[in-house]
Structure 1
Amino acid sequence: MMNDFDPSNDGGLVAENGTPVRQFSVMLPNRAGALASLVKLLRSSSIEVIGLSMQDARDATVARLVVSDTDSAEAIFCEKGIPYTICQLVIVGLKEAGPGLLQCLDILMTAETNVDFAYALLPCPEEMALLAMHVEDYDFATSVLNRSGFRLMYEEDLIR
């Protein structure tokens, strides 16, 4: 297991406004039913997938997952011997998906911070679009976005 938590920041687990959302990257065989089996395994423990991004290659697929209970999912992956990595994501709640997305990206560009990858999360109960981003500097990006008035979401906000 690898992660990009900064141990000098309160143990790397709690940010200013909550616990950073953690994403799993899981290597799956590139065959029919592999993702469904993983989701069934998580659901058998009442864990829901609330964000998903897939990158496939010839023999394997990398599934990036945001789940409703990260700690329990991690325990299942360890117990079942499923290899994974963890990283922190910045989650931005956007009231207007189009204009809000451009404003968010413009602010990060002006601050000269890179977005490594991004994807949308499944709809949230508050009827906001949720954008998940992995950025080069989590603390800097969240600070910039907070100062610009964006609503950031944390693990506590995503538990359903």
Structure 2
Amino acid sequence: MSTAATAAAPSAGLGRTFVLSWLIAFTGAVTPGPMLALVIGQVLAQGFAAVFLILLGHALLELLMVGGFALGLAAPLRRPRVRGALAVLGGLALAWMGLMILRDARHASLAASAASALSWPLLVAAGAGVSLSNPYFTGWWATVGTGQMATFGLRRRWPLRCSAPG
């Protein structure tokens, strides 16, 4: 292989990884849920700039997740009892949110006030907190996310432990 071809190979792999990462992230972004509600509420309360701080919180959480899974955090998530506990907790959280929505539906309003605007540290924390508390997020990372990390060969490139869920 020529020197030029060898030099081009890493950038081609990086481009492919970027496109695939973007497409995978898009599948999570188009899923309606609590993050969308947070973004809409904060944009109505204080403008579009709030989106970037919410996304920063989400991105920081994902960075921690990737690091944790690369270090072996995925292994406990493959245990049937852990998966069962997560499923029950996620189901209970969804049921609680549903009950709260039904309870508060008669007082619902699309109007946002400046009083509902969060400060920038709270926007970052809300971005991470809403993501972490979303059963879709944790379920995605327990299945697709760890599988993708294993598929992209983190085990071969880093001296870390990463394996697909089994």
TM-score interval, smaller chain: under 0.3
Higher strand share: 1
Q: Which has the larger radius of gyration?
A: 2
Q: Give the TM-score normalised by the residue count of structure 2.
A: 0.23
Q: Give the TM-score normalised by the residue count of structure 1.
A: 0.24
RCO higher in structure (CA 8 A, sep ≥6)? 2
